[in-house]
Structure 1
Amino acid sequence: MKRFVLSSLALSLILTGCTTTLPIVEDTHVHDHHHDWDYEHPEKWGDEEVNKLCSAGQEQSPIDIKQALRVEPTSDKDIKLTENYQAQDFTVKNNGHTIVFDVANQSKSQIVVNGTTYDLLQFHYHIPSEHTVMNTHYPLEIHFVHKSQQGNLAVVGVLFNTGKHNDPLQQIITGLPNEGENGTLSNFNIGSLMPKDSNAYAYNGSLTTPPCLEKVQWLLKADPVDASGAQLRTLAKLYDGNNRPVQPPGDRQIILTK
């Protein structure tokens, strides 16, 4: 499967902000060197040549999940995902589009997708969800952005329902910085935010903010987790409506991981 490969420097410049943001980044997404885009006019993102994929791309994210293909483990279409997340420290940044949690040690937490290892770079949130399921938004979606040694990106997405209080989520929303400010999050394991034993919807997509680069491996968890109404309101006070509209799926296939 062909992938879009980025140098570490290029990726750092692109991801500083979001479907993706690097330590210097929907991510996936939110890019500090592109201050002239906003969520009020996503249809204009592709007007600039540097962001042309936002309008001309054929594998853009997010998408609506209507159905997914179950495949046999022996099939060449099967996508195997394993996760190895450890407690670690993060720098917390408010970049004007979302809150970005940049990891201090990029090799401490990893995922493996079909034999390729991706190190965790950062995570950030969108309200409401960027992906929809059967045309329905969830109140919150968190993106966990990873990068391989070859420069390829993989993003794990987690959807949140309004429900019971979420203790791990409370750890990350306490004392969030204002725009332009930084904070810290210490000894936090992102695995605590993941649904237990959930399949994932896997498909080829893009960053969800300019420049909307494609060949991103998406892994959207099929099972949502809960967050209380109070917790969702805390996040929405900072950013609400920072979600890109769903994009045409084209002929892309969505594979349900085991």
Structure 2
Amino acid sequence: MKHNVSKAALLVFSMLPAFAFAAHWSYVGKESPEHWSELNPDYKLCQQGQNQSPIDIHAVLQAHISPLEVNYQDAPNSILNNGHTIQVSFPSEANDNITVDGEKFTLQQFHFHAPSENTVNGKHYAMELHLVHKNTQGEIAVVAVMFEEGKANPELDKLWQAMPATADQSQPLTQKIDINQLLPKDLAHYRFSGSLTTPPCSEGVRWLVLKHSITLSAEQLKKFTDVMHHDNNRPTQPLHGRVVVE
């Protein structure tokens, strides 16, 4: 009987996704960003990587990069509080995408950080939106949108109404969200090579940080930060010779 129970337990563990056993990490305390590389060997790039994100954007090379083409038509269908951020996801059949240098990247999810992770000339914005895309080769491109305090954003209101208040909870989105209302009209941007800003801090990520910000109200910002309980931004990382272009 004991032997059968052990076999059953092993079977259950073998069926669990790999991420269920990933080391826990945080933005505060002994699991904060400066300790991420100590938590799991898979997180070594968080300390050893030479192309880490976020960064401070201050010296920019004029390179006449191609315009960002955006095709966001499908709406997200769920919102998750994963304990690190508020993440919004899409049905499998959705086909929202961007085109970067003639290459298409499909939107996977978007999430938020407050205050902003990337900075411009040392300035933090109130909040930063990351729209995470992937191409057919599995390469990642992130479009970052900065928020400043000001007028309320109606699309954020729709999202925040469904935002789970506790970690590891997900809710369906019953109101249609227009992602285009979370973007400035002018899509001029800075571009650089970087990484994921959370463990495992994988590199090779194409970053497109929009130059123009949009607004959210003080109340909208407070609702997000109250749910997160603490800042959820990784500090800026050294450039190590990288060039930011526009």
Band of TM-score, shorter chain: 0.7 to 0.9
Aligned with residue 184 of structure 2, among 192, 195, 202: 195
| Cα distance between partner residues in 2 of 1:106 and 1:226 | 30
| Cα distance between partner residues in 2 of 1:33 and 1:207 | 20
Aligned to 1:46: 37
Write 1 or 2 for the structure with the bigger share of helix: 2
Q: Which aligned pairs between 1:5-154 and structure 2 lie closer than 5 A?
A: 33-40=21-28, 41-47=32-38, 48-72=40-64, 78-105=65-92, 107-154=94-141
- Structure 2 gap segments, 5+ residues each: 1-16
> Normalization by structure 2: what TM-score?
0.86
SS in structure 2 opposite 1:119?
A: strand
Q: How many residues are treated as equivalent by the alignment?
A: 223
Aligned to 2:4: none
SS in structure 1 opposite 2:162?
A: coil
Aligned to 2:244: 254
1:88·1:105 contact (CA, 8 Å) conserved in 2? Answer: no
**Counterpart residue type for residue 233 of structure 1:** K
SS in structure 2 opposite 1:154?
A: strand
1:79·1:255 contact (CA, 8 Å) conserved in 2? Answer: no
Structure 1 residue 33 displacement after superposition: 5.0
- Structure 1 gap segments, 5+ residues each: 1-12, 15-30, 73-77
| Cα distance between partner residues in 1 of 2:185 and 2:76 | 23
| Cα distance between partner residues in 1 of 2:76 and 2:235 | 32
| Cα distance between partner residues in 1 of 2:21 and 2:67 | 35
Structure 1 residue 107 displacement after superposition: 4.5
| Cα distance between partner residues in 2 of 1:155 and 1:169 | 19
2:43·2:200 contact (CA, 8 Å) conserved in 1? Answer: yes
Structure 2 residue 221 is matched with structure 1 residue 229: no
Aligned to 1:204: 193
Runs of 4 or more above 3 Å deviation: 31-35
Aligned pair in 2 of structure 1 residues 106, 254: CA closer, same or farther (>3 Å)?
farther
Structure 1 residue 174 displacement after superposition: 1.1
> Normalization by structure 1: what TM-score?
0.82
